Structures are given as C-alpha cells and as structure tokens.
Amino acid sequence: MMNSEETKVESKYNEYMKNVYKGSTYKNRYADVLGAIAVIELIVSIVGATYIWKTMATIDRGLYYSSPEYNPFGVGLSFTILIQGIILFIVMQTLKTTAKDVVEIKNKILSKE
C-alpha cells in the first residue's frame, strides 16, 4: 500500500517538475558583467603599465652630472603588469563565453523535455 502512494507522489512530483520548467529559459545576467570587468581590467593594466614605463624605465645617475640610465626593474614591472592584464582579459572572456554556452545548452535541454 505504501508503494502505490509513493508512486503516486513521485509521478505527481515528476509531472510538476516537467511543467515548471516547460517553456522557461535561463538567462545569464552575470556573463556580461564579467565581460565589462575584463575590459576595465585590461584598460587599467594598460594605463598602469604605461605609467610605470614612463616613471620607472629610466633613472638618473651620476655624481656631478645626471645621465639617464636603463632601469631593468621598471621595465620588467611594466611588462609584467601589461602581460598580466592581457592574460586576465583572455581568461575572463573565455569564462564569459563558457557561461553563455552553458546557458544555451541548458535551455536546449529544457526545450526538449
């Protein structure tokens, strides 16, 4: 007797779940935000690398006269920040694309049911 009641409850639940998701679509609101953050991060890293390059790429050395000299730390730091910004931009754009694709796959699966 318990089995028939459990079966009825399960069938009602399954029918309810099919009707709940029928015709509904998921929307990924945060993928576009991730894309905007990626662009902002890229711009900030380019500006930061340019600023560090201008201020730290050369240093003045000399006791009686100053002559500009190459500063490897400043150049390395500016290149590192620029490369980091580009890599982070690529990773965030990849995550954005992946998130949008997952939503499309989920919507296709739900539309088949």
Where residue 98 falls among pLDDT bands split at 50, 70, 90? very high
Q: What mean pLDDT do residues 55-81 have?
A: 85
- Within a domain: residue 9? no
Q: Whole-angstrom Cα distance, residue 58 to residue 54?
A: 8
- Specify if 17 maps to a domain: no
Count structural domains, the chain: 1
Q: What is the DSSP string of 34-80?
A: HHHHHHHHHHHHHHHHHHHHHHHSEEEE-SSS-EEEE-HHHHHHHHH
User: Mean of the per-residue pLDDT values for the chain?
Assistant: 83
Six token digits for residue 10: 């399960």
User: Does 18 map to a domain?
Assistant: no
Predicted pLDDT at 50? 95
Q: Domain containing 48: what range?
A: 26-103
Residue 80 inside a domain? The answer is: yes
Give pLDDT, residue 6.
66
* 5 belongs to a structural domain: no
Tell me how far apart the alpha carbons of residues 48 and 71 are, in angstroms, rounded to a whole number.
17
pLDDT value of position 58: 82
In a domain, 1, yes or no: no
Instruction: Judge whether 82 lies within some domain.
Output: yes
When pLDDT is cut at 50, 70 and 90, the band that residue 24 belongs to is low
Torsion from C-alpha of 42, 44, 50, 54, nearest 10 degrees: -170
Domain presence at residue 41: yes
What pLDDT was estimated at residue 1? 47
